Amino acid sequence: AAELAAQEMAIETPRLIHLREQLYDQLADVAGLVPTGDRWNRLPHHVSFSVHSAGGEIFSGKTLVRQMNLAGIGISAGSACNSGKLVPSPILVAMGYCDRLAKSGIRLTLGRDTTGADIDWTVMVLKQVLARLAPQPTLLKV
């Protein structure tokens, strides 16, 4: 089983890295989106970011998760170890991010069934959701 898992990982890792880079490239075009962490030194299936308004305010991660989920796209806020809790991500805090940003961090994870079309769809929906949320009072002051 371990040998089979290692063989699958050797195939899956480059594919996930390619998809992750496709996602990063498309997210670079989303106004106000700020990646957290290093782009290259991270898990191959993981992307994280926060969203800031033009005035420097940080969008509530919980609100963004809810709106994306309503659109049929599963994203997560905070760290995986504190999923569902509104506490700062200990990882982002350890990396030097402020508590407010660490509470609003968004995680996107890619999997075996993720395709390039999924990336395109996710970014398109994210842009639409952010456009709807922009004028609403769902922002946290930095």
Task: Please state, for a pLDDT cut of 70, what percent of the chain lies above it.
Answer: 85
Give the pLDDT band of residue 83 (cuts 50, 70, 90).
low
The CATH superfamily assigned to 2-140 is Aspartate Aminotransferase, domain 1 (3.90.1150.10)
More confident residue, 20 or 5: 20
* DSSP for the chain, written as a single string: -HHHHHHHHHHHHHHHHHHHHHHHHHHTTSTTEEE-S-SSSS-TTEEEEEEB-TTS-EE-HHHHHHHHHHTT---EES-GGGTTS-S--HHHHHTT--HHHHHH-EEEE--TT--HHHHHHHHHHHHHHHHHHTTSS-EE--
Q: What is the pLDDT of residue 85?
A: 61
For 12-29, how does the pLDDT look when each residue is reduced to its tens digit (9 = 90+)?
A: 999 999 999 999 999 988
- pLDDT value of residue 132: 84
* pTM value surpassing 0.85: no
Q: Is 138's pLDDT higher than 50?
A: no
Domain ranges in the chain?
A: 2-140
Label residue 99 by pLDDT band (50, 70, 90): confident
Active site positions, annotated: 81
